[in-house]
């Protein structure tokens, strides 16, 4: 019997994941929609075998939460089920010690495969991550400068002034960073870049 906790902010997605878990991993399956909801509940999490989480966890960094899970629940496994499938993310997933990762853009059968791999004590990375174990996009020093200023909360104009470049130059670096991280929003860029700078 497997105890599984799913942290997913979209109720239909959460129910879909839970259906797959119940089909493949008999046992208890709990759904929470945020880290805050999980923290607010008076539940014993010491017996969780599998955590299924996304990289977008609201105000909490997924990477910080993974470290927390590793420290507090060293015998639990983590399955990342995320829409972020850039080369940097695939590499970062492996460095975090997560051995199960599925892209939401891949066929749903990959979630089944990951759950079966968990049951057998194996690793599984969906095709979006499979060939990316050694790939890390090269960040230029100027891209890292712009990223650092973005994460400090500076506007485009403030970052341009600080770096002594035009706003268009900062926008070009920002666009390049967003492409390398595979995101479309600054908030996602800030969340996923934690630990890089």
Tens-place pLDDT, residues 75-105: 899 999 988 776 667 777 877 888 899 988 8
The region of weakest confidence among 5-14, 47-56, 173-182, 187-196 is 187-196
pTM for this structure? 0.68
- Asked if the model's pLDDT at residue 134 lies above 50, the reply is no
Please give the helix or strand (H or E) that residue 47 lies within, else none: none
Report which secondary-structure segment, H or E, holds 107.
none
CB 172 within 8 A of CB 145: no
**Half-sphere exposure (Cβ direction) of 66: Cα atoms closer than 13 Å:** 25
The pLDDT score that the predictor gives to residue 108 is 81
Average pLDDT in the chain? 84
Find which of 19-33, 39-53, 77-91 is predicted with most confidence, using mean pLDDT: 19-33
Helix or strand or coil: residue 28? strand
**Cα 58 from chain centre:** 11
Domains and CATH numbers, the chain: 2-130 (3.40.50.2300), 141-192 (1.10.10.10)
């Amino acid at each position: 019997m497997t105890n599984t906790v799913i942290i997913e902010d979209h109720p239909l997605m959460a129910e879909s994941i839970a259906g797959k878990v119940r089909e493949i991993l008999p046992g208890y399956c709990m759904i929470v929609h945020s880290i805050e909801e999980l923290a607010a509940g008076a539940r014993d999490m010491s017996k969780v075998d599998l955590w299924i989480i996304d990289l977008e966890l609201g105000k909490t960094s997924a990477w910080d939460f993974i470290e927390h899970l590793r420290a507090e629940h060293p015998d639990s496994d983590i399955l990342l089920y995320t829409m972020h499938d850039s080369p940097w993310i695939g590499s970062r997933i492996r460095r975090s010690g997560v051995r199960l990762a599925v892209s939401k853009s891949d066929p749903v059968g990959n979630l089944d495969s990951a759950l079966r791999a968990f049951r057998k004590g194996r690793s599984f990375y969906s095709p979006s991550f499979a060939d990316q174990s050694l790939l890390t996009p090269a960040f230029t020093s100027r891209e890292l400068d712009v990223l650092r200023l973005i994460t400090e909360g500076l506007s485009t104009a403030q970052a341009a002034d600080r770096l002594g470049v035009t706003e268009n130059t900062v926008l070009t670096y920002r666009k390049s960073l967003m492409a390398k991280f595979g995101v479309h929003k600054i908030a996602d860029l800030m969340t996923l870049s934690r630990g890089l700078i």
